Amino acid sequence: MNRKPEIDDGIRQAIDQLLARSAEKFQSGDLLGAVEFGIQAWDLIPEPKSSWDYYPQSLSRTFVEDFAKLGDKENVRKWIAILAEMYGDPNHEDHLVLTTEADAMIALGDHDRAYYVVDRIFEIYGDKSFRDKNSPLLKFYMTEKAKRDG
C-alpha cells in the first residue's frame, strides 16, 4: 500500500500545538472553540491537502462529527465532501466515509439521508458491512427498513 507523504516536521509541530489547544477547548465543553482551533490547524496543511497523510483525513472526519454535534447541517455536508476528497473517494464508496456520513446524518435527524447512505454501504459491501451485529448503524438501518417495508 502506498502511503501519502507526511507533512514537514515544523508544520506538524504547529498543527499539533493548535490541536492541543483544540483538545483543551473540547475538554472544557467549548466545542465551537475546539473547532475554531481545528480549522486553524487545517489551514496550515499545505495544498493540495489531499496529497498528505494523516492530518487531512483525521481533521476532515473530526469536522464532520463536530459540526453534526453542533447541529450545523451545511458544514456537515461541506466536510463530508472534503472527507471524501481526502480519502480519494470521489464516488463516495469508502466504508469509513460512508459510515461517518451516516452517523452525522443520524445525529442531525436526517433519517432519509442516513438510510440512503447505510443502504449504499450494504449495496457496496454486502452483509459483511457490519461485523458487529450490535452496531448502532445496523440497528438504525434495520429499524428504518422495517418501517419503510412495513
Cα separation of 51 and 41, whole Å? 16
In the chain, the domains with their CATH numbers are: 9-149 (1.25.40.10)
Grid coordinates given for 112: 432519509
- Is 107 within 8 Å of 68 (Cβ atoms)? yes
pLDDT tens digits, residue range 69-126?
Answer: 999 999 999 999 999 999 999 999 999 999 999 999 999 999 999 999 999 999 999 8
Eight-class DSSP state of 70: T
Would you place residue 132 in the very low, low, confident or very high pLDDT band (cuts 50, 70, 90)? confident
Residue 13 backbone dihedrals phi, psi, to 5 degrees: -65, -40
Q: Which alpha helices (H) appear in 28-128, and where do they start and end?
A: 31-44, 55-69, 73-86, 95-108, 111-125
Would you place residue 129 in the very low, low, confident or very high pLDDT band (cuts 50, 70, 90)? confident
Distances (CA, A) of 40 to 16, 21, 124: 11, 11, 35
pLDDT at residue number 135: 87
